[in-house]
Amino acid sequence: MELVDLTLFLTGLSLTVALDNGLLRTPPMGWMAWERFRCDIDCTYDPKNCISEGLFRDMADRLVEDGWKELGYEYVIIDDCWVSKQRDDQGRLQPDPTRFPGGIAKLARYIHDRGLKLGIYSDMGSHTCMGFPGTTLDKIEIDAQTFASWGVDYLKFDGCYSNPVEQMLGYPQMSKALNATGRPIAYSCSWPAYLGGLPPNVNYSLLGEICHLWRNYDDIQDSWDSVQGIIEWFASNQDVLQPAAGPGRWNDPDMLIIGNFGLSVEQARSQMALWAIMAAPLIMSNDLRNLDNWATAILQNKAAIAINQDPLGIQGRRLVQEKSHIDVFWRPLSNSASALVFLSHRTDMPFLYHTSLAKLNYQPGNYMVYDVFTSSTVTRLKASTDFTVSINPTGVVM
């Protein structure tokens, strides 16, 4: 009972909430180190790929020079393993001196000079998930002030090595501490993921008041099984999760792994399509220096990005789950538009799926239809007219 009681107690607190700073009215877009580069700290033998200031400068350069920034990909986010094993004499976190010799403030200037924003990682336990110094309750204010003084724009606050009571206190406290710095800092909470992601353990009303986005579920891995498992968990629990999302408060199914090793072209399109439907953060974790053209084309698809960034900010839903292993997802968009995704969980051959807009709850009338990944257009489709889509195995039509 302690968990639920404390949640109710916190809901009644007068909080200076993170949402006061008006950030992330659409889901954040950018690049994060973790899924692709993990905790590679071996800069002697792997200098190009280790967690170091050079890696983040490289990615900032690529975001600007290869057309990502102009499409909205603006955050460069450091994950675990950046911090020194010891705090400094004033008790502040400091970066590893050999891998970040210039310090974080200098790296932030480099990133800001390119019109980008810097994100950083901390953990509200005794240690980060990989065993580096954490941000315990007594260190929350000094760490928030340190991040602000460095020019940080985004904090991912993890929850390893902490217990539910510490999380209950620490996540709202960090929200308040970030606000008190006077610097607009987007705040990503991993809190729900440590509580199973669902009520009654997770209070999504409270989360929406203190965090801009939150991790609900397991870490993504570089495989279709992982992506498919995440899609299924979010769809199965959509009645709870969908209402929690909106401008300035987003569910986060984790990073885009398009362009790594585990997804085919079809599966990469499926991840992009479903993350757009779910109004999910578009935070890539890949090597932007060595990206195949097909991966770049999917991640830079302007229609998919526009759907994801729709200003209404309404998360989509699964409408239909067929015995034939076809799912249909729908998201309402501004200007009376909407997005449909037909997802195949099949692994045999392309599947011909027959339906009509009327069967998918559309009002009578004529509709213009645009295919996101082929760019083809149908100008007048009657809601009552049957149509057929051919969906490749593990692929989508959007």
339 and 196, same domain (yes or no): no
Residue where a domain terminates, one of 269, 288, 309:
309
232 and 361, same domain (yes or no): no
pLDDT digits (tens, 9 = 90+) for 58-117: 999 999 999 999 999 999 999 999 999 999 999 999 999 999 999 999 999 999 999 999
**Residue 323 pLDDT > 70:** yes
Q: Which of 58, 61, 218, 219 is catalytic?
A: 219
Tokens of 263: 């997804």
Residue 148 to residues 32, 70, 207, Cα–Cα distance (Å): 19, 26, 22
Q: Read off the pLDDT of each residue in 161-170 and give the average, rounded to a whole number.
A: 98
pLDDT digits (tens, 9 = 90+) for 226-267: 999 999 999 999 999 999 999 999 999 999 999 999 999 999
Residue 278 forms part of a structural domain? yes
What is the Cα–Cα distance from 75 to 115, expressed in whole angstroms? 10
**Residue 3 pLDDT > 60:** no
**Residue 211 pLDDT > 60:** yes
Place of tokens 């990989």: 130
359 and 212, same domain (yes or no): no
Residue 16 forms part of a structural domain? no
218 and 331, same domain (yes or no): no
Residue 20's pLDDT band, with cuts at 50, 70 and 90, is: low
Q: Read off the pLDDT of each residue in 187-210 and give the average, rounded to a whole number.
A: 98
| pLDDT score at 2 | 39
Rounded percentage of the chain residues whose pLDDT exceeds 70? 95
pLDDT digits (tens, 9 = 90+) for 354-387: 999 999 999 999 999 999 999 999 889 999 999 9
**Residue 9 pLDDT > 70:** no
Q: Which of 7-11, 234-238, 322-326, 335-339 has the lowest mean pLDDT?
A: 7-11
Residue 175 to residues 115, 126, 195, Cα–Cα distance (Å): 25, 19, 19
pLDDT digits (tens, 9 = 90+) for 245-254: 999 999 999 9
| pLDDT score at 21 | 82
Contact call for residues 251 and 281 (beta carbons, < 8 A): no
Q: Read off the pLDDT of each residue in 30-34 and give the average, rounded to a whole number.
A: 98
243 and 375, same domain (yes or no): no
Residue 58 forms part of a structural domain? yes
| pLDDT score at 379 | 86
Q: Read off the pLDDT of each residue in 264-279 and give the average, rounded to a whole number.
A: 99
197 and 179, same domain (yes or no): yes
Residue where a domain terminates, one of 309, 332, 360:
309
Count how many Cα atoms sit within 13 Å of the Cα of residue 315 in the half-sphere of its side chain. Answer: 27
Looking up residue 386, the CATH number of its domain turns out to be 2.60.40.1180
Tokens of 306: 């526009």
Residue 79 to residues 95, 162, 200, 242, Cα–Cα distance (Å): 12, 18, 29, 27
Torsion angle, alpha carbons of 79, 81, 84, 86, to 10: 100
| pLDDT score at 19 | 53
What is the Cα–Cα distance from 297 to 4, expressed in whole angstroms? 46
**Residue 396 pLDDT > 60:** yes
Q: What is the mean pLDDT of the chain?
A: 95
279 and 365, same domain (yes or no): no
159 and 234, same domain (yes or no): yes
97 and 184, same domain (yes or no): yes
Torsion angle, alpha carbons of 147, 150, 151, 156, to 10: -30
Looking up residue 149, the CATH number of its domain turns out to be 3.20.20.70
Could you please report the per-residue DSSP string of 326-371?
EEEEEEE-STT-EEEEEEE---SS-EEEEE-TGGGTPPSSEEEEE-
Residue where a domain terminates, one of 309, 333, 354:
309
Q: Which of 123, 158, 252, 254 is catalytic?
A: 158
Residue 7's pLDDT band, with cuts at 50, 70 and 90, is: very low
| pLDDT score at 12 | 40
| Crossing angle of the two packed helices 224-236 and 265-277, in degrees rounded to 10 | 20
81 and 188, same domain (yes or no): yes
CA nearest neighbour of 305 among 329, 284, 275: 275
Establish whether 143 is a catalytic residue.
Answer: no
Provide the number of structural domains found in the chain: 2
Tokens of 298: 């999917």
Q: Read off the pLDDT of each residue in 210-226 and give the average, rounded to a whole number.
A: 98
Establish whether 58 is a catalytic residue.
Answer: no
Residue 2 forms part of a structural domain? no
Q: Read off the pLDDT of each residue in 28-42 and give the average, rounded to a whole number.
A: 98
Residue 3 forms part of a structural domain? no
User: Parallel, antiparallel, or unpaired: how do β-strands 326-332 and 317-321 relate?
Assistant: antiparallel
Residue 4's pLDDT band, with cuts at 50, 70 and 90, is: very low
303 and 345, same domain (yes or no): no
Residue 4 forms part of a structural domain? no
Domain span including residue 393: 317-397
